[in-house]
Amino acid sequence: MSEENNQYTFENPEYRQTYWHTCSHVMAQAVKRLWPEVKLAIGPSIDEGWYYDMDAPFAFTPEHLEQIEAEMRKICKEKLKLERFELPRPEAVKFMEERDEKYKVELIHDLPEDEVISFYKQGEFTDLCAGPHLDSTGRIKGNALKLTACNAAYWRGDSSRETLQRIYGIAFPKKDELDAHLARIEEAKKRDHRRLGKELGLFMLRDEGPGFPFFLPKGMVLKNTLLDYWRKVHKKYGYVEISTPIMLNRQLWERSGHWDHYKNNMYTTVIDDVDFAVKPMNCPGGMLVYASEPHSYRDLPLRVGEIGLVHRHELSGALHGLFRVRCFNQDDAHVFMTREQMQDVIQETVRLFDEVYSVFGLSYTIELSTMPEDHIGTVEEWERNQDILKQAITAMGKEFVINEGDGAFYGPKLDFHLADSLGRTWQCGTIQLDSQLPERFELEYTGEDGEKHRPVMIHRVVLGSIERFIGVITEHFAGAFPTWLAPVQVKLLPVTDRAAEYAAKISAQLDAQGFRVEVDGRNEKIGKKIREATLEKVPFMLVVGDRDMENGTVSVRRRSGEDLGAMSLEDFAALLDGEVKSMAIQ
């Protein structure tokens, strides 16, 4: 499809956002028709659909949402024209005061002095809005919209302000697209890592430590297996591993710039009358490690990795399972290099990312995040480093999109957004190019000319937060982890009490070969044991009965239900070993 033909379809993200933004106005109009006393706050489009914050004298219920949907369909059928107009600030304030819309009045007062104050009118309904919008409510397909949720939201995100109600919605040009989207949502609910984490005994969350996850024995097996793989692949790429302190003094954080740019997200304390902060990231400690000994150009690039436990203060309302926590392990790495090595190191890092993500069957897209308003360093340095990132990634044949103003405060970055089995995206990996912290920490190396030079560096994570990545792959695999990663790889299911001793013997032999095995020795019917092992998503079940004992075999079943039949223990161990070593995705 040509770009011109693509302009008014959901393939065009601008059109998609315009469509959803218009839907938010239709929803607000429907609410005001049904309950004129409701006060409107804000109603933007978001990544998937829209929401509108409202102040109502009652709590919206699912029945209310059905009423709103029905009214929205009427408005779509009315094909109301959307008309834009502007008002001077005093008139705009008066316009909204007359309609008793106090939140809109506050928004107008807070607009910059030179801001154009615009409104959109559709029928009897008018809303303060910068736009853009569709030209008519008739463009929206009433049978392809759905209000999906309603929850509480603070006005302007401030917990000291009014508590509003936020209604979420989604819409598509065709009903079958809506149906497919809703089906994906239902599938996502089944894959929710919080539910699976509990059912599979991976982790738990407690009120005694909100945002601080507890990993259970099986979760620790999963986590440690993941970290073992991380260490193996990083050793292959020439990284050495370090560990830096969890708490460092204020002077260090001021030197790095984090005290000025990140203090609100840091946990602080006082030790011996000195301010300290629990580290929210590992970078400053890595700077001290580099500075602890002299370096030559022959040492570079120096690749240093760290699985560091970091703590960040997140608002309680933002916490979400393992996806948003207050403490997590970050697979940080810092590569120190000469300017001449920058492009090669960036490309080498991307190849490492490619290798890791392919193991999990995850594809990705790349965003180049550029200089934010709150930054250190000169514009010239930023532009030079942004160009280096562009050149490196383009030379590899990779595509990227620009994310304006979202770089780290010390440098531009490449963010890697992973796509899971449901097509959802997760920002995990990042490569941040930094010439500022080496300057602040006065890092040096001796060049070929015998003179001192300043290295440049990249900060990078491939998995990101280990905890968050576990949440991502739990949902990606729906808890059915590949054999190499599964907390329990084999479950032995004796058919009778007579086979229990044989099962224990088989278990010991597999355990001795390094496989993770459990025996279900309960006095239960074999059908129940198979069903429960399947629900536990164990890759292999070995059913052993009298015939297996006589023949020295095991009857092998996969969690998919595939019956592989009877085989010798040696043959099964070879099959299992092959799947583990190949890191196959079943």
* Residue 413 falls in the annotated catalytic set: yes
Active-site option among 25, 459, 516, 529: 459
Q: Per the residue annotation, which of 312, 476, 537, 557 is the catalytic one?
A: 312
- Catalytic: 174? no
Q: Which of 53, 127, 331, 332 is catalytic?
A: 332
How far from chain centre, in Å, is Cα 328? 13
Q: Which CATH number fits domain 13-178: 3.40.190.10, 3.30.980.10, 3.10.580.10, 3.10.290.10?
A: 3.30.980.10
Query: Does 459 qualify as catalytic in the annotation?
Result: yes
Percent of the chain whose predicted confidence (pLDDT) is above 90: 84
Instruction: Summarize the confidence of residues 531-552 as an average pLDDT.
Output: 95
From 64, 311, 324, 334, the catalytic residue? 334
Catalytic residue among 23, 129, 150, 283: 283
Highest-scoring range by mean pLDDT, 264-268, 495-499, 563-567: 563-567
According to DSSP, the β-strands at 363-369 and 125-128 are unpaired
Mean pLDDT of the 74-90 span: 97
Burial annotation 311-328 (CB, 10 A radius, 16+ → b, else e): bbebeeeeeebbbbbbbb
pLDDT of residue 1: 36
Examine the residue annotation and report whether 332 is marked as an active-site residue of this protein.
Answer: yes
Domain boundaries, the chain: 13-178, 219-476, 490-582
Identify the active-site residue in 413, 460, 529, 537: 413
Look up 102 and say whether it is catalytic: no
- Does the pLDDT value for residue 237 go beyond 50? yes
CATH class of 490-582: alpha beta
The pair of structure tokens assigned to 322 is 């393992």
Q: Of the candidates 349, 110, 319, which has an alpha carbon nearest to the alpha carbon of residue 213?
A: 319
| Residue 6 banded pLDDT, cuts 50, 70, 90 | low
Distance CA 551, CA 544 (A): 11
- Work out the average pLDDT over 336-356: 96
Predicted TM-score (pTM) of the model is 0.82
Residue 2, pLDDT score: 38
Angle subtended at Cα 79 by Cα 76 and Cα 83, rounded to the nearest 5 degrees: 110
Determine the average pLDDT of the residues in 39-54.
94
For the domain with range 219-476, which CATH number is right: 3.40.640.10, 3.40.50.300, 3.30.930.10, 1.10.3720.10? 3.30.930.10
Any catalytic annotation for residue 312? yes
Helix 342-359 and helix 217-236, axial crossing angle in degrees, nearest 10: 140
**Active-site option among 29, 330, 432, 436:** 330
Classify the C-alpha dihedral 474-480-483-487 as positive or negative.
positive
